[in-house]
Amino acid sequence: MPAMKMPRWLAGSIRRMLLVVLVPGLLLVFSAELWLAWRTASEAADAAYDRSLLGAVKSIDSSISTASGGLSVELPYRMLEFFELTANGQVYYRVATEDGLVEIGSSDLPPPPKPLLSSKPQFHEGVYFGEPVRVGSYARELATPLAGQAGPQRVVIQVAETLEARTGFQRSLVLQSVARDFLLVVVASTLFGLAIAWAMRPLARLRQDVEARAPQDLTPMDSDGVPAELLPLVGALNHHIERNREQTEARRQFVDDASHQLRTPLTTLATQVAYAQREADPAALREVMDNIRQQLDETIRQTNQMLSLAKADSAAPEPEALDAVVLAEDLVRRWWPLAREQGVDLGLAAPMATLPFRGEPGLLKEALSNLLHNAIRHGGAGCHVTLAVAADGRHVRFSVVDDGPGLPPEELARAGERFFRGRHGQLPGSGLGLAIARTVAQRHGGGMRVSAGPEGRGLAVTMELAGTGAPATSCG
């Protein structure tokens, strides 16, 4: 599954990414806090002013009398005047029997939305003369019913006020809350910005340390004092530095060894040419020219081997879909004429099936050609050389097995080192054939094993490559 990529404007800066992610979060929290502040202020204003409304209702209720057989109210006008001053607006009242036959005060005040329960006040909002008001309604049973009423009778008391003072109080609370929350957001944003800048300082120091390094400085970076979050980055940098150091050292060693390997045959060629220039005998001159030709062929082969090894070390991988059996058949057909010329029995051991895998055909042919060339050349006449191919689903194996002189047991461990040649080798060579095979095998996710051949005779070299896990298909 491909990784999700960030927008270019967002991925360019950790600081910008944090601000883009967290500042909207702070604004969202601020909006939620503003809504909560408005709701809390509304509830607080309603609770305070409804308490005043209930006080006015109770005061009027205490002044109701039915002693005369009718309904009478001795209004406490000072109390109403004081309530109007407190409400900072108009105050209206209504006292009536529940059936509306007797009514005192403002007769058209908005009725309560739900039926009133005795001795349970109810508060609601309405409109009176086109102006919004808050109404407190209260009902109770009269101790003595009015004249002409046979059963229990309830009286309804309503007091209403306009909303100027209530709204102003609510607005004041909301503004105070907004100012407080805005200040907190500003302070939090400032502290957050300072915290980001302070937290980015180790990254800035790390960048400065990397930029201040000399191009040749491949020593590991010091991880002392590095925050725990940056330790994986420093570890990855040190791992990269170590790989570059190893490659640089290997390249330097390779150049030194290659220059030494080429200097000797070139010096020999120069000596042979000088000798040929002084030789007058045609037969002797022809022999010298044959030696020069052989030396040139060997030098060209060594140069090609070194170039192949350098490509296997540094070139970018370019794998293709291959068949191991077809690749082995092509190699055997290519090397069969030389084997016949040398008196070597070259054979192929491969299954009657396709063995698909992915690899680089050029490098694989070069590596296996070096193994076959070494086996044919060092095995000598009468030797048997076999190129075997096998697979187990996870790996593909190419093995070159011969029954020639092989290597002493103490030298088997060094087989595959660059420029290493057995001390009993009689033929000229660069010591790069096994090194190329090992490098190519490692490049294909595998490795190379060198051991004695069948029954302890000769040499068996196996290149194990990472396979594709595809099942073998019968050729029929």
Q: Kindly give the pairing relationship between strand 91-97 and strand 72-73.
A: unpaired
Residue 17 CB burial class (10 angstroms; 0-12, 13-18, ≥19):
middle
Look at residue 272 and tell me if it is in a domain.
no
Of 50-59, 284-293, 368-377, 437-446, which range is least confident?
A: 284-293
Domain boundary among 199, 220, 252: 199
Q: What is the pLDDT of residue 471?
A: 47
Neighbours of 315 (CB within 10 A): 12
Distance of alpha carbon 220 from alpha carbon 237, whole angstroms: 8
β-pair type (473-474, 353-354)? antiparallel
pLDDT value, residue 454? 78
Distances (CA, A) of 276 to 266, 269, 270: 15, 10, 10
CATH number where 338 lies: 3.30.565.10
pLDDT of 325: 92
Tell me the pLDDT tens digit for each residue of 127-160. 988 889 999 999 988 877 776 677 788 889 999 8
β strands within 98-250, DSSP E: 103-105, 122-128, 131-141, 154-162
Give, rounded to a whole angstrom, the gap between the first and last alpha carbons of the chain.
Answer: 38
What pLDDT does residue 43 have?
83
Segment 47-60 shows an average pLDDT of 84
Selected residue with higher pLDDT from 271 and 467: 271
Residues 194 and 343 in one domain: no
Predicted confidence at residue 427, as pLDDT, reads: 47
Neighbours of 205 (CB within 10 A): 13
Q: What is the mean pLDDT of residues 346-363?
A: 88
Q: Of all helices (H) and strands (E), which one includes residue 47?
A: helix 14-62
Q: What is the pLDDT of residues 433-457, one digit of tens each?
A: 687 788 888 888 888 888 888 777 8
The pLDDT of residue 86 is 59
| Residue position matching structure tokens 């007797």 | 102
Note the pLDDT tens digit of each residue in 89-122.
788 888 888 877 778 888 888 999 999 898 899 9
DSSP strand pairing (395-402 vs 384-391): antiparallel
**In-domain check, residue 17:** yes
Secondary element (H or E) of residue 349: strand 345-349
Do 415 and 431 meet the contact criterion of CB atoms below 8 Å apart?
Answer: no
Confidence of residue 70 (pLDDT cuts 50, 70, 90): confident
In a domain, 296, yes or no: no
* Same domain, yes or no: 325 and 195: no
The answer to which of 257-271, 272-286, 345-359 has the lowest mean pLDDT is 257-271
pLDDT at 461 over 80: yes
pLDDT of amino acid 469: 46
Confirm if 387 and 331 have CB atoms less than 8 A apart.
Answer: yes
Report which listed range, 101-105, 297-301, 348-352, 391-395, is most confident. 348-352
Q: How large a percentage of the chain has pLDDT more than 70?
A: 79
pLDDT band at residue 316 under the 50/70/90 scheme: low
DSSP state of 114: S
Q: Which residue has the higher pLDDT, 21 or 470?
A: 21
The answer as to whether 424 is a domain residue is yes
Q: What is the pLDDT of residue 262?
A: 65
Residue 27 CA to residue 19 CA, distance in Å, equals 12
Taking residues 45-49, what's their average pLDDT?
82
CA-CA distance, 84 to 91, in Å (whole number)? 6
The answer to the question of residue 387 being in a domain is yes
Tell whether the model's pLDDT for residue 330 goes beyond 90. yes
Say what the pTM is.
Answer: 0.47
Task: Identify residue 148 by its one-letter amino acid code.
Answer: G
Most confident of 55-59, 109-113, 178-182, 410-414: 109-113
Q: Over range 241-256, report the average pLDDT.
A: 74
Name the residue with higher pLDDT: 169 or 86.
169
Higher-confidence position of 94 and 192: 94
Q: Are residues 320 and 192 in the same domain?
A: no
Domain span at 382? 316-474
Give the pLDDT score at 289. 84
Which one has a higher pLDDT value, 403 or 435?
A: 403
Task: In whole angstroms, give the CA distance from residue 226 to residue 283.
Answer: 77
Does pLDDT of 194 surpass 90? Answer: no
Quote the tokens at residue 121: 């006040």
Q: Are strands 395-402 and 459-466 parallel, antiparallel or unpaired?
A: antiparallel
The residue to which tokens 């108009």 are assigned: 90
Taking only the tens place, the pLDDT of each residue in 272-289 is: 788 777 777 788 778 878
Q: Are residues 162 and 23 in the same domain?
A: yes
**Three-state SS at 348:** strand
Quick check: 381 pLDDT over 90? no
pLDDT top residue among 430 and 164:
164
- Longest Cα–Cα distance in the chain: 166
DSSP per-residue string spanning 48-68 = HHHHHHHHHHHHHHHTEE-TT
Contact 159, 109 (CB under 8 A): no
- pLDDT value of position 33: 81
Domain end residue (candidates: 141, 169, 199): 199
- Domain count for the chain, please give it: 2
Round to whole Å and give the CA distance between 185 and 25: 11
Mean pLDDT, rounded, of the chain? 78
Q: Give the end of a domain, one of 182, 199, 216.
A: 199
**pLDDT of 387 over the 90 cut:** yes
**220 domain residue, yes or no:** no
